[in-house]
Structure 1
């Protein structure tokens, strides 16, 4: 009886429970949505596995460029890349991470080792700078290790897409920079980051890098200093920063607060309290050394090499010890000739990499003379081309040895001209006595005086009017460059700055490489500044800073003034501290 009662109780309890469950509202059947997360999760191990897996597929399908073929591009010393316009808007940390992550790639050399049959992958970095798949990275990343047989080089994007490297456009071992092009035929286009200029020391920067396969790691710091460094290839400018990065970060970008590329990660240098060949004790500092933006621009804005180019300077014994003009050059036709001249096997091999002996020869000029002596090159004609080496004697009386090496295309004619020869100028039409006297009359009215390349004047409104008449009467005058410069100078001195800026622009457009170009560029920027146009003035001054990174004192006050007028006082103070240092 008891058992029956208990059974009934259990059945009634279960029935009640089922009824209660059935009566629950329908919304409980669908779990609530979790709030969207803003975190970016990156699986490092998964990326490495995908890099090797997808890279091997491309390699076996024949879609990659052989490593030996890519290495041929290391001989090219310049290329032209359509760069994005520099950004002017400050970005927050998350905004900078999001923007740069889309443009930063992993550069990987794929190789088979001698201990197994698996494909392996190295990791480094690169950053997209062109709309056609052009990527900046380090020269040593592309060159690779001599003891490893690489098969090809690929790039992996932030979304995990693996893309073959089609070619190496140019490289500079001296600056440790290379420009490569990705094969974008089967890939989505990548947004380029703009290339900036050298910020002054103390400026905030960030680094997006891949330290030891920890992909897309963003660190922050400041630029601590710039310094020159001389190696086998010549002198380069090095930027030292405080932002963290580690191995595997070579070729990754150093960015300013606006997202502009201001450098490339290159290497580190450790400072120990005690250091001998056997051991290192008490690590004190690790210097983070990067390629400066000014060094990058020498590669990306350079045209293909011409029929003649200068080799980096070297020191040799046996140079002439008596004053005299340039001697007849030595003619080097092979590696053996270069070995006999340099007598340093390692240095000779380094220089041989700059020369294609099948297509080129080397001319060696050796002489002693003034420290201001110059040996210039120019070409004339088109088919055939003739190379002229022009020796310009300096004015000082010191006696110094000089050595210049030039690579010249085979089959090109060349001549040497000694003596104080004037610099090459644009072809001039034949002037007339009337034209010459008219220009002389203008100079007299303006009270023009010259000292070297410097020009002084005491302009008047009447003198400017007479100068304008001369320019209209003789539009193809052989004195046109001087007349245009005098017009800009006169308007500047009369404080008609808006007209002076336009006058200097006409001069620069007509004679972009004239003898007054640098001064005209500075005065144009100043004239824009004084006519209440600070932003165009700053744009001109930034271009000057790019072209003359080591001479900020030439335009420092004008640039600081422009920054102040634009409300960027802090940046102006930092820049002037850099100039004064």
Structure 2
């Protein structure tokens, strides 16, 4: 009897250990995300498929003048989630948004560069039909004349490494730094996030899954620290400051409440320095666009 009991305990401990090892897997940001993004983008470009190039998009890209977006949005979630549950849910609907292309420049050895250049940012899915939200400045970074080497395709990569092409820019709002994209889902049923229909309040908890400086699918948390209006692109906009960390590469990521709803979108950081010594950083303001601006863009256009 004691022998059977000992074996049972060993089996249970083995299962717990195996589960822990699996749950605590350390990702490799290069092999798990950067390499699949480059190779998937390369396959799309070399496939001969009609892609939304920077040159083809540029004449239609504008700061305002877009019609409402015809999509059916989900309803707000009301059941609180643990941080782990939030991460699992949000990460599946968080994407990497990137321009991709070959610069075709000739190096010092006289060889043509055939490397795929990518510039990853963040975004999130709001419809299973392939509607993705990111920043206006991410879209502008693709079409601008300063982008010399990644103009062949605009792509979105899912967490599992699937690379899908952006086929249309549905809407954009420079003042609120928002852009809404349509991707070719290739028949996939995509996970998506619901958008909050009421503003978050100062003190409310917030969560972010994003890609700061190539640390793909990083998770941070904090709270709403301030709500203020500011002038951007010649007009006032509402801005929500938070304490959760994000950085370059997080542009376009969703700000999430404790129920898993989108309450905002990352827009910028601003370093606040000492007035007597600008070399001394005192804090970093982390600004986001409240979900009300996204809902208005979807429902009314701009």
Coarse TM-score class (shorter-chain normalised): 0.7 to 0.9
* Residue 274 of structure 1: how far off its partner (Å): 4.2
Query: For 2:40 and 2:262, how far apart are their aligned partners in 1?
Result: 29
1:233: Cα distance to partner? Answer: 3.8
Is the contact between residue 80 and residue 302 of structure 1 (CA under 8 Å) also seen in structure 2? no
User: Any conservation in 2 of the 1:251–1:266 contact (CA below 8 Å)?
Assistant: yes
RMSD (Å) for aligned C-alpha atoms: 1.9
Distance in 1 (alpha carbons) for counterparts of 2:135 and 2:230: 17
Distance, in Å, in 2 between the alignment partners of 1:40 and 1:257 is 25
Task: Give the Cα separation in 2 of the matches to 1:107 and 1:267.
Answer: 17
* 3-state SS, counterpart of residue 34 of structure 2: helix
**SS of the residue 1:122 aligns to:** strand
Q: Hey, what's the Cα distance between the residues in 1 that align with 2:202 and 2:55?
A: 40
Residue 41 of structure 1: CA displacement?
3.6
Instruction: Specify the alignment match of 2:152 in structure 1.
Output: 151
1:206 and 1:103 map into 2 onto residues whose CA distance is 14
Counterpart-to-counterpart distance in 1, 2:57 and 2:85: 35
C-alpha distance in structure 2 between counterparts of 1:158 and 1:240, whole Å: 27
Which residue is 1:352 aligned to?
none
Per the TM alignment, residue 248 of structure 1 is displaced from its structure 2 partner at its CA by 0.4
2:86 to 89, 96, 110: 96
Number of the residue aligned with 1:51: 37
* Alpha-carbon displacement from aligned partner over 1:97-120 (angstroms, at most 9, x marks no partner): 111111000001113344643221
Cα deviations by residue, 1:116-155 (Å, 9 ceiling, x for unpaired): 4322100101100012100111011011043113222101
Query: Is contact 2:174-2:233 (8 Å) kept?
Result: no
Would you say the 8 A contact 2:121–2:252 is kept in 1? yes
Aligned pairs for 1:19-418 (under 5 A) are 35-36=18-19, 37-46=22-31, 47-63=33-49, 64-71=51-58, 72-74=60-62, 76-77=65-66, 78-113=68-103, 114=105, 116-144=113-141, 145-149=144-148, 150-186=151-187, 188-196=188-196, 197-274=198-275, 280-302=278-300
- TM-superposition CA deviations, 1:447-492 (whole Å, max 9, x none): xxxxxxxxxxxxxxxxxxxxxxxxxxxxxxxxxxxxxxxxxxxxxx
When residues 40 and 226 of structure 1 are mapped into structure 2, their CA distance, relative to the original with a 3 A threshold, is farther
Deviation at 1:89, TM superposition (A): 0.5
TM-score, structure 2 normalization: 0.84
SS state of the match for residue 279, structure 2? strand
The TM-score normalised by the length of structure 1 is: 0.44
For residues 507-561 of structure 1, the C-alpha deviation after alignment (integer angstroms, 9 at most, x for no partner) is xxxxxxxxxxxxxxxxxxxxxxxxxxxxxxxxxxxxxxxxxxxxxxxxxxxxxxx
Superposed displacement of residue 69, structure 1: 2.8
Shift of 1:73: 4.8
**1:62 Cα deviation after fit:** 2.6
Greater helix content: 1
List aligned pairs for 1:517-556, cutoff 5 A: none
- What is residue 570 of structure 1 aligned with on the other side? none
Q: Does the 8 A contact of 1:206 with 1:256 survive in 2?
A: yes
Q: Tell me, yes or no, if the aligned pair for 1:73 and 1:169 is still in contact at 8 Å.
A: no
Report how far residue 272 of structure 1 moved.
1.0
Shift in Å, 1:200:
0.8
Q: 1:79 to 1:275 in 2, by over 3 A?
A: farther
Q: Identify unmatched segments of 5+ residues in structure 2.
A: 1-13, 108-112
Which residue does the alignment assign to 1:342? none
Change (3 A) 1:169 1:53: same
Compare relative contact order (CA 8 Å, sep 6+) and give the higher one, 1 or 2: 2
Deviation at 1:80, TM superposition (A): 2.9
Determine the C-alpha separation between the residues in 2 that align with 1:81 and 1:229. 29
Which structure is larger by alpha-carbon Rg, 1 or 2? Answer: 1
Distance of aligned partners of 1:89 and 1:57 in 2 relative to their CA distance in 1, 3 Å threshold: same
What secondary structure is seen at the aligned counterpart in 2 of 1:295?
A: helix
Q: Which residue of 1 aligns with 2:4?
A: none
The 2-side partners of 1:298 and 1:68 are apart by 29
Partner SS, residue 301 of structure 1: helix
Q: Which has the higher strand share?
A: 2
Q: Deviations over 1:58-99 (max 9, x none)?
A: 012133222233342545524232111110000001111111
State the shift of 1:269 in Å.
0.2
Task: Give the Å deviation of 1:275.
Answer: 7.4
Distance 1:66 1:252 in 2: 23
1:228 to 1:48, Cα distance in 2 relative to 1, 3 A: same
Report the CA distance between 1:189 and its aligned residue: 1.8
